Chains A and B, each alone.
Chain A
Amino acid sequence: MPRGFGQFGGPHERGYGDGKISKTVWRLFGFVFKNYKISLPFIALCIAVTSLTTLTSNLFTKTLIDDYIVPMTESGSTDFGPLAAAMLRLGAILLTGVIASFTCNLLTVYMGNGTLRKLREEIFAHMQKLPLRWFDAHTHGEVMSVYTNDVDTLRQVVSQSAPGILRSLVTIVATLASMIVMSPVLSVISIALAALMFFITRKLGGISKKYFTERQKNLGIINGFIEEMVSGQKVVKVYNHEEVAMEQFAVINENMRRSVYNANSVGNIIGPVNANLGHFGYVLLAAVGAILAVKGFVPLTLGTIVAFLTLQRNFNRPISQISNEINSLAMASAGSDRVYALLDEKPQADEGKVTLEGNAASGWQWRFPDGTRTPLEGLVALKDVDFGYVPDKQVLYDITLTAYPGQKIAFVGGTGAGKTTITNLINRFYEIQDGTIHYDGISIADISLPSLRRSLGTVLQESKLFSGTIMDNIRYGRLDATDEECRAAARLACADAFIRRMPDGYMTMLSSDGGNLSQGERQLLCIARAAVANPPVLILDEATSSIDTRTEKLIQKGMDSLMKGRTTFVIAHRLSTVQNADYIMVLDRGRIIERGKHAELLALKGKYYELYTGNQIA
């Protein structure tokens, strides 16, 4: 089956179970059972019918020889009528088997793909509710790998391993029953042989697991090396480091080869060992059967021995199959562990009951749980706020500030001073540890999360766009905006001119990395996206990345017109932004150390002055 093409090649590359079938695999079976209550019994029935018909066709050899051919040769009769009747009966049984097997396959296809789809949708929907903290803690590669590698491993479990085990079990029970009926003595030998075989397969599985773990380890090492060195190849060249890199690579490459060789050769041996153990068993049974029959210890017919030998073959196959499937369930455990770890993550709590109503044209209102409404003013107040991304590493201390309706608050300060963190708390990307944040006098925890965020327009520093047309990207700000409203927003953001210069104008398709646009143009689109949402309060993170002068002027103009008349928090990098701010908050290592208007702060000759002049003052 094709896998998704994550950056990790195989399903078992990250982490490897301890060889036991994890509890999460049973949860997965539970999930399948819950969703396919009706199909499952049918599948089981079909599997049973299929196995039984296979058995019948195998047993037919005995019937054919003992009941028809031998009597006919002995009596010299040439009446094939009874045989024809038997053949017809067999044909009917076999046809039933074919139908059952087809039905079973079809149902499994639906069940397997359906489970996968439901599981994917459930994972994705759940992921959407997780707090940003979770996304910070997991790399994109890790997240992608859950969807591609791990979910696909589970597909194997649902559509192959589970039906496989069921089929094998049915075959074993049915075969064993007929074997015992046929000859209890031979059955004992057969069971002993099967036990031996099961033991050997499991043993080999154990050995291969050791090598497999080693192989995964080396795979990780070599992939890491290639990833790092090839991505940094330009630096390798600039430093003439090619030969050293080659030497390191040769060692890693050889380790990799050796461990894959070990793992694969054990894997390759399992097949022949099983097949030939089967042959040994065959000879053993034939010899014992012959001795018993010839010496007359047990009443055995020729047909019985022949049929028994055929059964023996069919008995071996499911046994090695079951032990292989058990191995693969153990391997899938790591994948299902990760899938359920994601599903078990707690979503961000949202107990807010106050909701946002109205729109920019008719005016925004807060609706309280008791049904009363108050108009939205845009007053945001933080009081004694403390915060840390990780429990014992505080990054904000005692932040207190008030933005009155329509005011523009600028944050300035060095990297890591906490500017972005403050804005992340206002829109509840993260939850504060101590203190309070009030919005029009309502604690933001009491406002429902979607309402809170809808009331805050955000332009982030990194201009992320989505694949789709330019129009789609602007409309992302407000899904029911008309084309004309989108164009108006683009005009407000000074993006209209460059969009119309594009070959397909507003209908130009963008790739997800926005590759066909310059950095500056992407930012203009992000501003237009926020403009079409037309929110009462704005959070702007000015981009630090440098853009050519003309575009930079446009962006500045776009941002200025967007800020007009709204309460705005802006993480400022541009002088004009700071100069126009009603209040400037100077942050240093998580504290507001200076605050005031531009002129006041300059007069202070403190940190702001230092940043402003670019000179360190002693």
Chain B
Amino acid sequence: MFKTVFKEVRQYRTALFLTPVWTSAEVVMGVLIPYVTASLIDKGLNAGNLPAVYKYGGIMLLLAVLSLVFGILAGRYAAYSSTGLAANLRKAMYSNIQRFSFSDIDKYSAAGLVTRMTTDVSSIQNATQMLLRTSFRAPLNLIFSFAMCLFINKRLSLIFLGAMVLLAVALTMMISRASKLFKQMLVQYDTLNGVIRENVDAIRVVKAFVRENHGISLFDKAALDLYAISIKAETIMSFNQPVMNIVVYGCIMAVSWFGAHSIVGGNLTTGELTSLFSYIMMVMSSLMMLSMIFVQVTQSAASVSRVAQVIEEEPDMSNPADPETSVEAGSVDFEHVYFSYKKGGDNAVEDINLHIEPGETIGIIGGTGSGKSSIAYLICRLYDVSEGCVKVGGKDVRSYDMDALRQHVAIVLQQSTLFSGTILENLRWGNPSATFEECVEACRAACADGFVTSFPDGYDTVIEQGGVNVSGGQRQRLCIARALLKKPEILILDDSTSAVDTATDAAIRKELITSVPGITTIIIAQRILSIKDADRIIVMEDGRVNGIGTHEELLAGNEIYKDIYSLQTSGGEADFDA
């Protein structure tokens, strides 16, 4: 999984590999500087030798300039390669999502994909940048600083070694204990957020039942639990600094004591002693850094696997080798079709056999979960059948080029989704080269022209994200118009007029007959009024076809249809769902 993600570095590879080079160079400078400082003190200041002060001062300045240059390079390259990686990851995910079939999208859920493309990618980006800047720096710093210590004085360096081991053990223990607690803390966070979300979401229920205080007590409990676990986790972490301090102070005291002996014994200079002090700090801070890297890597590993999953996902549907590119006729056949949304899951439809003639108008009715929409999805191959076959124009849907099939079979999905942009832009999703007149015509057929022209900006009215500035019924009509612009052979309306009033619903059906004559129309509806004039009506129940026939035939012989009819219209054809 790390490999999949790493592969997306692509054009930023050079920068990625150069970053550690710059950081290493920076580290070398950083390590050399205290050594030069020692010379400056010993040979310059100590000896009262001004030329030596200038010489070593000059060298130090040079090193500092180099260090600055390397530091800036390292910073920029790290930013360049990590943001580049993030951009490539987003692109790779997005382009693979474009290949996803409906069932792939269901598997991840749209919300899940959004999180992966945003939160997870930024977490990888931050981790990469940090790793690039520190993963070499910390071990290098550690090694070089320690090497310098050895170089200055072997015996005193052994003190460091002991301290390092001590610190490493202490840090590991703390982090492993705390990270468990931090995980629990995240769970507690989710609980707290869950309480808020539910409360805000159902605020009308809360207020109607006067349960404000009930909500507050639930919240306070969740807040208290979060508080308790946070305190526990952070208390462990607050041992961090004191432990670090004790070790550092211990080193300083030991080095002072033994260093004093060495100097008096003539084995060490005062300059070397001050350099040693600098190196103590370096060794210890690189140890701290290493432990932070460890934490960061474990935290971002989850994001890496979630992102890799999306990039690696093989879409479960693909074009055939030699695809048909045009649909000859608007006929539809179902032959012993079985289908389930999840492999091995319950069948959504079972043993469906149907023949629909070109130009026929078919109504489909039945309760939720009866399999109405599944039939629609199978016709335009948004999902593949588990068994049997679905034919359009006499040929198996799997033999068509998918784009071509969807061009000829237009479906208006239940969720009437519009995109931000003008109405005209939205309509042209159906046909990018449609003229303004064609768009108006489609809107007339969908009974949308009336309200569109009533907007001050008419067809140039900007739809906001989520289509929130038009009503549900208006959205549905625009979606129908958008589908009509495809000039399809087969039009499927999946509960697409549920939010328009009965009169408009009837008007749309009338318009469709006159403006797009001869196309096969499949209307899925809950309202009996929407389908009763169809050539044939299919009654679905529990994933099976319960009856097929005209309105009158079904009224005479189909129990379920009769039930629905009497429930909706006893006494008249009333419907107050307006």
Contacts and interface: CB of A to CB of B under 8 A. Distances in A.
Do A and B interact with each other, yes or no?
A: yes
Contact of A109 (B231, B252, B569, B575): B231
A612 B45 contact: no
Interface string B437-461: 0000000000000000000000000
A237 B406 contact: yes
B71 A575 contact: no
A254 B557 CA distance: 63
Contacts of A575: 568-572, 574, 576
B567 A552 contact: yes
B209 A533 contact: yes
Given A102-B238, A117-B227, A61 B274 contact: yes
B135 interface: no
A552 to B, nearest CB: 6
B208 interface: yes
Contact of A279 (B64, B84, B465): B64
A547 B210 contact: no
Interface string A89-124: 011001001110110011011101110110011001
B545 to A, nearest CB: 16
Interface string B388-428: 00000000000000010011001101010101100000000
A287 B413 contact: no
Given A233-B97, A269-B72, A98 B234 contact: no
Contacts of A64: 256, 259-260, 273
Nearest to B410: A238
A614 interface: yes
A508 interface: no
Contact of B201 (A280, A412, A464): A464
A250 B473 CA distance: 34
Interface string A290-325: 110110000000100110011000000000000000
A345 to B, nearest CB: 14
B263 interface: yes
Contact of A249 (B91, B234, B506): B91
A60 B367 contact: no
SS class, residues of chain B in contact with chain A = helix
Contact of A458 (B64, B208, B471): B208
A372 interface: no
B196 interface: yes
A122 to B, nearest CB: 10
Contacts of A576: 570
A283 interface: yes
Interface in B160-203: 182, 185-186, 189-190, 192-194, 196-203
B313 interface: no
A83 B367 CA distance: 92
Interface in A459-490: 460, 464-467, 476-477, 479
A261 B80 contact: yes
A200 interface: no
Given A124-B216, A282-B37, A226 B413 contact: no
Contact of B564 (A99, A302, A549): A549
- How many chain B residues sit at the interface, stated as a range, is 35 or more
A188 interface: no
Contacts of A340: none
Best-buried of B202, B224, B263, B578 by chain A (most CB within 10 Å): B578
B433 interface: no
Given A2-B185, A249-B94, A265-B76, A512 B212 contact: no
B436 interface: no
Contact of B67 (A224, A276, A520): A276
B193 A230 contact: no
Contacts of A238: 380, 382, 406, 410-411, 413
B130 to A, nearest CB: 10
B531 to A, nearest CB: 13
A264 B82 contact: yes
Given A282-B37, A412-B576, A228 B249 contact: no
Contact of A271 (B71, B238, B245): B71
B337 interface: no
A2 B208 contact: no
B33 to A, nearest CB: 6
Contacts of B567: 549, 552-553
B368 interface: yes
Nearest to B44: A290
B230 interface: yes
B40 A286 contact: yes
B574 A240 contact: no
A395 to B, nearest CB: 14
A450 B209 CA distance: 8
Interface string B522-537: 0000110100000000
Count chain B CB atoms within 10 A of each CB in A4, A234, A576 and give the residue with the most: A234
B430 A276 contact: no
A573 B577 contact: yes
A272 B68 contact: yes
B235 A109 contact: yes
A57 interface: yes
Contacts of B122: 9-10
B576 A574 contact: yes
Contacts of A7: 114-115
Contacts of A124: 196, 199, 215-216, 219-220, 223
Q: What class of interface size applies to chain A in its complex with B?
A: 35 or more
Contact of A121 (B65, B71, B223): B223
A514 B571 CA distance: 35
A116 B234 CA distance: 14
Contacts of B226: 117
B95 interface: yes
Contacts of B569: 575
Nearest to B52: A290
Interface in B228-275: 230-231, 234-235, 238-239, 241-242, 245-246, 249, 252-253, 256-257, 259-261, 263-264, 270, 273-274
Interface in A546-583: 546-553, 572-576, 578-579
Contacts of B99: 242
A383 interface: no
B434 interface: no
B3 interface: no
Contact of A612 (B82, B117, B560, B574): B574
A20 interface: no
Contacts of B63: 279
B204 A242 contact: no
Given A233-B110, A269-B71, A239 B429 contact: yes
Interface string B32-45: 01000100110011
A195 interface: no
Interface centre among A87, A109, A132, A256 (most CB of B within 10 A): A109
B249 A98 contact: yes
B22 to A, nearest CB: 10
A226 to B, nearest CB: 5
A614 B186 contact: no
Contacts of A412: 576
Contact of B465 (A224, A290, A548): A224
Contacts of B238: 102, 105-106, 108-109
Interface stretch (A65-73, A174-182, A399-407, A491-499): A65-73
Interface stretch (B138-146, B340-348, B495-503, B511-519): B495-503
10 contacts: A128-B216, A135-B203, A227-B465, A238-B380, A264-B78, A290-B48, A466-B198, A548-B369, A575-B574, A614-B506
The 8 closest A-B pairs by CB, nearest first: A272-B71, A548-B367, A268-B75, A546-B526, A105-B238, A464-B202, A279-B64, A257-B87
Given A113-B230, A237-B101, A415-B473, 9 more contacts: A2-B182, A10-B122, A233-B97, A234-B382, A253-B94, A271-B71, A293-B48, A539-B208, A546-B368
